[in-house]
Amino acid sequence: MTTETRLRIAMQKSGRLSDDTQALLKRCGLTLNVTDRRLLAHVANMPIDIMRVRSSDIPGLVMDGVCDLGIVGDNTLEEAALERELMGQKSQYIRTSQLNFGGCRLSIAMPEGFDYQGIKSLDGLRFATTYPQLLNRYAKEQGINVEFCLLKGSVEVAPRVGLSDGICDLVSTGATLEANGLVEVEEIFKSKASLIQTASALCSEKQSILDTLLPRIQGVMKAKE
Ligand code: PRT
């Protein structure tokens, strides 16, 4: 099969979703030979290529049709879609299935001792976040104005160093918030990993690979429940 007829799947190269994604693909019967240096890995026993990239690049790769499928957190996906809409770019994709790993929530957290009396207490404040679009949408829905400063990591330290009043970041166990003297006050988005698909029609060869793969993914997800 030529490269054009091999199904291309984008997954996180390294990070919180990469092990679960790799395990899922292996349980679907894909023989993966993923080494750290190879960013485009051929699946030996199926006409599939795996592109290993940063999570934040996956939505764009699928929306632009560079990859046929991608496995990414809903938080990253929704933030990218909102950002692209704002810039007048194409933001279509199909959510083929929600997966049962990568669970977390995007929450607003304030320093301990902050007098939180409901959402209006946050009006006019400044938040450090990696997710300005999701924060902005929530603030608009709630009828408040917020400012943000964009941080790609170590968001929890921002209030302590005077960069922001609070933060808007992902939480799973809550241990990081606690360790940094922060208290969760509003959950604004719930997230899990999703399998997404390009909105463009696939050629018949790719569609038939997908038709084989999808029931396997759903079977693995069911078995894990
Ligand atoms: O690949 P790239 O670097 O672009 O993406 P990334 O920075 O989002 O990577 P990574 O590996 O940190 O996260 C990948 C995805 O995992 C996220 O987009 C979420 O969909 C999902 N996920 C699930 C999480 C968490 N749980 C999580 N807890 N991503 C990040 N965290 C961080 C959070 O930002 C905070 O710093 O973990 C800390 C809080 O964890 P707790 O357990 O202390 O609450």
7 and 85 co-located in one domain = yes
Task: Say what percent of the chain tops pLDDT 70.
Answer: 97
Query: What residues does 191 pair with on adjacent strands?
Result: 104
Beta carbons within 8 Å of 58's beta carbon, 6+ residues apart:
10, 11, 12, 67, 70, 71, 72, 76, 77, 196
Q: Whose CA is nearest to atom 8 of ligand 1?
A: 55
167 and 200 inside one domain = no
Q: Are strands 69-73 and 182-191 parallel, antiparallel or unpaired?
A: unpaired
| Pair (121, 77) in one structural domain | no
Q: Tell me which residue has its CA closest to atom 33 in ligand 1.
A: 170
Any ligand 1 atom below 6 A from CB of 169: yes
Q: Is the CB of 173 under 6 A from ligand 1?
A: yes
Q: In what order do the strands lie in the sheet with 126-129?
A: 147-150, 126-129, 166-171, 104-111, 182-191
Residue 3 scores a pLDDT above 70:
no
Residues 163 and 90 in one domain: no
Alpha-carbon gap, residue 206 to 212, rounded angstroms: 10
- Answer yes or no: do 35 and 122 share one domain: no
- Full domain range(s) for residue 63: 3-102+193-224
What is the tens place of the pLDDT at every residue in 31-62? 987 766 678 888 999 999 999 999 999 999 99
Strand locations in 113-223 (E)? 126-129, 147-150, 166-171, 182-191, 193-198
**What amino acid occupies position 42?**
H
Total domain count for the chain? Answer: 2
Q: Average the pLDDT over each of 1-10, 45-54, 63-72, 120-129 and give the range with the smallest value.
A: 1-10
- The answer to whether residues 78 and 164 belong to one domain is no
